[in-house]
Amino acid sequence: MDALDNADAVRFKEALLVIASRLGTLMEALSGRAEEMKDVPTMAFTHIQPAEITTIGYRLSQTLQDLADDADDLLSVISSIRGKGMKGAVGTAASYKVLLDGTGVSAEELENMVLDELGIKPFTAATQVYTRKQDLRIVSALSSIAATLHRFSLDMRILQSPPVGEVSEPFGKKQVGSSAMPFKRNPINNEKICSLSRIVESSYQAAWNNASLMILERTLDDSANRRIFIPEAFIALDEMLLTATKIVKGMSFHSEATRRLMENYGIFASTERLLMELGRRGADRQKMHETIREESLKAWALVQSGKDNPLRENLATDEEILRYIPHDEIIQLLDASDYTGDAEKRTEAVLERASAQIIRLKSAK
């Protein structure tokens, strides 16, 4: 097992470096899109319901931030990869000590010479194999990246679906959306990412079992399954990263859909700003809250039935509100396009960190 486990460690490190390069390329592409859209307002959704205002770039920065955290974990795993070393049947190196007796070379010195040649460090202690906690750490890093990509792709599928329709993945000129329904543009690439992520996620449980059920100096329970799930996790994640990069580079943002969402729902969020300004100018907050609430509920019902949102004009012509704020100021306060807080500033902070992470990923060894 000395030769096999040391070879596995070398292979896994090389494979992790491929993943690091792919991750860096994806983060680079995503950074470009987040920078491009950092100040473009859009509806945010909580509970998959319209909430307040965010920016498209800030939404993308959530994924970028998660990937930057994933990069930390991945780089940590790469730097800590170790081989079993040359330790024999139960890890004591007893056979090597006998073999090397009289040569002037110790078992530890032989181990260091072999592992230096392989370009990795050995574990200090081992059994018949290196600790399978290493496999668990590797798969955990892969699984974490897969979770980030799954969330991104699931969000993309929701944002591409009617009635949102705000963004869409690339769609080739000759691409067929459905053999039965020619009009369809199914988000097949994002669906593929969600599908493959389940393979990567399931590998974590197998790695956990192997690490926790390696009885005494070694059982063979891990041998067959790790030859399947570890390569599959790497292959699946590699395809996910390549596909995600293609999606990010080619995805389209539909400004008219964003405008429609803002027109129908953004005003509900901006009523908060109107209420605060009314209170600042001496209005009875409870009374104003009730007026805005009643008008908002009536407008929401109309929007849900497919009609235009009348809330802006209804509030701007309300006699009680007009006692404190003139019509044109009310209209301005109800414009949600600048009600994005410090989303742009925070996006820029994420981009700065991501830039440093991309350099580390590209130069990892």
For the stretch 290-327, pLDDT in tens is: 999 999 999 999 988 888 899 999 999 999 999 999 99
The full 3-state SS of 289-343, as one line of letters, equals HHHHHHHHHHHHHHHHCCCCCCHHHHHHCCHHHHCCCCHHHHHHHCCHHHCCCCH
Q: Report the CATH fold assignment for 2-96+107-170+186-254+343-362.
A: Fumarase C; Chain A, domain 2 (1.20.200)
CA 253 to CA 215: how far, in whole Å? Answer: 54
Run of H or E residues at 242: helix 223-250
The predicted pLDDT at position 115 comes to: 95
pLDDT at residue 176, as a whole number: 60
Q: Which of 50, 95, 117, 64 is nearest to 336 (CA)?
A: 50
- Domain positions in the chain are 2-96+107-170+186-254+343-362, 258-338
pLDDT given at position 306:
85
**Which residue shows structure tokens 């908060």?**
272
Q: Which residue has the higher pLDDT, 30 or 182?
A: 30
What confidence tier does 162 reach under pLDDT thresholds 50, 70, 90? confident
Identify the pLDDT of residue 179: 58
What pLDDT score does 154 carry? 97
The whole-model pTM stands at: 0.90
- 258-338: CATH topology is Ribonucleotide Reductase Protein R1; domain 1 (1.10.40)
Render pLDDT for 14-59 as a digit per residue (tens, 0 to 9).
999 999 999 999 999 999 999 999 999 999 999 998 888 999 999 9
pLDDT > 90: what percent of the chain?
85
Note the pLDDT of residue 28.
98
Mean pLDDT of the chain: 93
pLDDT in tens, 73-123: 999 999 999 999 999 999 999 999 999 999 999 999 999 999 999 999 999
Residues near 214 by Cβ (< 8 Å), separated by ≥ 6? 127, 129, 131, 132, 221, 222
Q: What are the residue numbers of the active site? A: 47, 178
Specify the pLDDT at position 264.
86
Q: 150-159, 170-179, 180-189, 236-245: which has the minimum mean pLDDT?
A: 170-179
d(CA 121, CA 114): 10
Residue 357, pLDDT above cutoff 90? yes
Q: Which two tokens stand for residue 151?
A: 């969330």
User: What does the pLDDT read at residue 338?
Assistant: 86
Coil, helix or strand at residue 184: coil
**242-288 per-position pLDDT tens digit:** 999 999 999 999 999 999 999 888 889 889 889 999 999 999 999 99
